Amino acid sequence: MSRVAEFQVRVVELPGLHSALGRALGEAGEGAPRIRELLEQSVRVCCVGCGITVTADELEALALATESGTPSPRLERLRLGYCARNGCDSRFYIVSAGTGMVGWPTVFRRTKELMSSKADAETEPTESGPATPARTFRQQWRRVQLAVLGSVVAVVLLAWWWRSGARIPGISPRARQFIVAPGDSPAAPAPSEGQQRRGATNAPRNFQVR
């Protein structure tokens, strides 16, 4: 037999209750006809203060309500965040169930998770929203920081290159090479006896720079 379970919601959360309950029951393995039957016969939604109940059909209509209005004064009060009973100041309702052979504690726990995640998604600011002065200032300041950081890195790399003597292809000048080129040269004096033994010569050499 299913256990009796209940949880409390604010009136402003009632528009999302119907879809959250239906999804939680579906995740629990219930089919569409069975879900509708459970919502109509097993789930009870009543005000904490005056005890007035809200039916499954009213919850469904409340979920589809728009700012242009609702079909009944009861739903209009609920849409605006007030109790369905005129004159009741309560802002909370109790959702309970204890029949239908369903694990209601698990279903209700999942229902609250779904309602909470939906509320967080609706209140979370998006990046595509209108730009505010504070956001614009932060973006400009971030660009300035990136530009300064890039300049510092460039200066450090340039100083390292200058001190290390490393060559950068296409930028650093090529090192000059000296080679001995054959060619006519003026007569040189005969080498001495010691130079002859060492294989040395007094002939001048021509150099070319490349």
Mean pLDDT of the chain: 78
Inform me whether the pLDDT recorded for 165 exceeds 90: no
Q: In the prediction, which pLDDT does 127 show? A: 46
What was the pLDDT predicted at 49?
95
Retrieve residue 209's tokens: 């720079």
**Domain parsing of the chain, residue ranges:** 5-123
Band (pLDDT 50/70/90 cuts) for residue 51 is very high
Confidence of residue 152 (pLDDT cuts 50, 70, 90): confident
- Annotate 79-105 with three-state secondary structure: HCCCCCCCCCCCCEEEEEECCCCCCHH
Whole-number pLDDT of residue 144? 83
Higher pLDDT, 130 or 78: 78
Euclidean distance between CA atoms 160 and 50, whole angstroms: 80
Counting every residue written for the chain, the total comes to 210
The whole model's pTM is what?
0.55
- pLDDT (tens digit per residue) in 128-149: 444 455 556 667 777 888 888 8
- Distance (Å, whole) CA 133 – CA 114: 34
Strand blocks (E) in 4-162 = 5-10, 44-47, 53-54, 92-97
